[in-house]
Amino acid sequence: MKVDGVPYRSIWLGDDGESVDVIDQTRLPFEFEIRKLRTLDDACVAIRDMVVRGAPLIGATAAYGLYLALRDDAGDDALRGARESLLATRPTAVNLRWALDRMQSVVGELAPAERAAAALDEANAIADEDVETNQAIGRHGLELIRAAAARKPAGEPVNILTHCNAGWLATVDWGTATAPIYFAHDEGIPVHVWVDETRPRNQGGLTAWELGHHGVPHTYIVDNVGGHLMQRGMVDLCLVGSDRTTRRGDVCNKIGTYLKALAAHDNGVPFYVCLPSSTIDWTTRDGVGEIPIEQRAGDEVSSLPATANAASTRIRLTPDSTPTFNIAFDVTPARLVSGLVTERAVVAATESELGASFADLVESETVGTTDPS
């Protein structure tokens, strides 16, 4: 997508061919800075410290990180160690494991001398495919926005609520939840986006930055506003992303997504989750019971960065002794999901429908009990 008229992806091979370049998302929306990743450690730190974030981009960064590791040492031990280091960076987004499995299947059988070049080709392929996948999600999700627009008085905008940042910054380009919005806006359908702040990391600021650069009308709200808006008919559609989706369609996404889904359900607002199939974890069925949820440092909750340019200085919000609990994701049960907007189609959030749409991807092993849907 464009930043001040210049097209960017969120990750790319540097001009010198030596570095993998990313947009430093800890500096946005205040400063646009490019960070150069040159080593495995750089890639691990970038994922862990959320310089890059969002499930698909975490996967792509891990793929490039493996390439950077193999460029330094392509031996079996180094390959194994790099995979373990990258897997340990963040626990919830399954795209991390997906990308590393894919990389392993390509480079694992090769002689060490051939591994780095093959890893770079595969990382590039993962990045390119992510862009195509999100465009396909955009085309399917556009149909939902068209339908919502048809239900509104002519010229009135379709009001879409989104949570966190499932935008192009969270992917390689286009985003998942935002791709349909960008497509609709570009087609001339009037849209307006309610952007949840998404405390404590404030990913809503990233979404607002993106939408602003693309000229999409939007309003920034604190996280508790969504229910009020839905009660008053001020939301036509919710579109969110996913970090991990189970084979029966439970969706794990940024903390607070579940509450939005409950409010949507209570008010008859369609609640759709936009996701690439790389976000489906076919080894899990019960999202609440089986998905590992990241817990982050308590100071993200008990304090705020003091200024845009001094992230290390923080303003305390609570008494020093107050304990905090900073859980980063929650699970929305499939029954609250109106549909899953994937690269192949809009699919019902049931095991049978997901399995039918992605029969080629479903792992042969069966887990748990049979699908009640």
**Catalytic annotation, pick one of 173, 243, 250, 281:** 243
CA dist 126 to 59, 64, 121, 258, Å? 9, 9, 9, 30
User: What's the chain's length in residues?
Assistant: 373
Q: Which of 42, 173, 243, 250 binds ligand MRU (CB under 6 A)?
A: 243
Q: In whole angstroms, how close is the CB of 359 to ligand MRU at the nearest point?
A: 24
Stretch that binds ligand MRU, among 143-151, 169-177, 217-225, 317-325 (CB under 6 A): 169-177
Stretch that binds ligand MRU, among 16-24, 36-44, 140-148, 162-170 (CB under 6 A): 162-170
Q: Which of 65, 180, 204, 241 binds ligand MRU (CB under 6 A)?
A: 241
Residue 306, number of CB atoms within 10 A of its CB: 13
164 binds ligand MRU (CB under 6 A): yes
Tokens 């506003």 found at: 225
56 binds ligand MRU (CB under 6 A): yes
Which of 115/256 has CB closer to ligand MRU? Answer: 256
Q: Name which of 329, 327, 356, 354 is nearest 341 in CA terms.
A: 354
Answer yes or no: 173 catalytic: no
Q: In whole angstroms, how close is the CB of 12 to ligand MRU at the nearest point?
A: 18
* List of E strands, 137-217: 158-162, 191-196
In the chain, how many H helices and how many E strands? 12, 18
Which of 120/169 has CB closer to ligand MRU? Answer: 169
Stretch that binds ligand MRU, among 106-114, 117-125, 239-247, 310-318 (CB under 6 A): 239-247
Q: In whole angstroms, how close is the CB of 149 to ligand MRU at the nearest point?
A: 23
Give the angle 258-87-300 at the CA atoms, nearest 5°. Answer: 50
List all residues 6 or more positions away from 228 whose beta carbon is below 8 Å from its beta carbon: none
Q: In whole angstroms, how close is the CB of 190 to ligand MRU at the nearest point?
A: 24
Amino acid at 60: A
Between residue 87 and residue 106, which ones bind ligand MRU under the rule CB under 6 A? 93
Q: In whole angstroms, how close is the CB of 102 to ligand MRU at the nearest point?
A: 18
C-beta of residue 256 within 8 angstroms of C-beta of residue 223 = yes
Q: In whole angstroms, how close is the CB of 51 to ligand MRU at the nearest point?
A: 11
Distance CA 74, CA 63 (A): 14
Q: What share of the chain is helix, strand, coil (3-state, %, to 5)?
A: 40, 15, 40
Distance CA 215, CA 143 (A): 21
Q: Name which of 65, 79, 71 is nearest 109 in CA terms.
A: 79
Residue-wise over 94-104: b if at least 16 C-beta within 10 A, else e? bbbbbbbebbb
| Residue 262 structure tokens | 């409950």
Q: Which of 61, 85, 159, 176 binds ligand MRU (CB under 6 A)?
A: 176
Number of residues located near ligand MRU, criterion CB under 6 A: 18
Stretch that binds ligand MRU, among 35-43, 59-67, 237-245, 343-351 (CB under 6 A): 237-245
Helix (H, G, I), strand (E, B) or coil at 246: strand
Between residue 324 and residue 353, which ones bind ligand MRU under the rule CB under 6 A? 328
C-beta of residue 130 within 8 angstroms of C-beta of residue 171 = yes
Q: In whole angstroms, how close is the CB of 250 to ligand MRU at the nearest point?
A: 15
Q: In whole angstroms, how close is the CB of 1 to ligand MRU at the nearest point?
A: 14
149 binds ligand MRU (CB under 6 A): no
166 binds ligand MRU (CB under 6 A): yes
C-beta of residue 333 within 8 angstroms of C-beta of residue 249 = no
Closest CB to ligand MRU belongs to which residue?
241
29 upstream amide cis, omega within 30 of 0: yes
| Residue 251 structure tokens | 């969706």
Which of 161/170 has CB closer to ligand MRU? Answer: 170
Stretch that binds ligand MRU, among 11-19, 147-155, 240-248, 280-288 (CB under 6 A): 240-248
Give me the active site residues, please: 243
Q: Using CB under 6 A as the criterion, which residues of the chain lie in contact with ligand MRU when the complex forms?
A: 53-56, 93, 164, 166, 170-171, 175-176, 203, 241-243, 253-254, 328
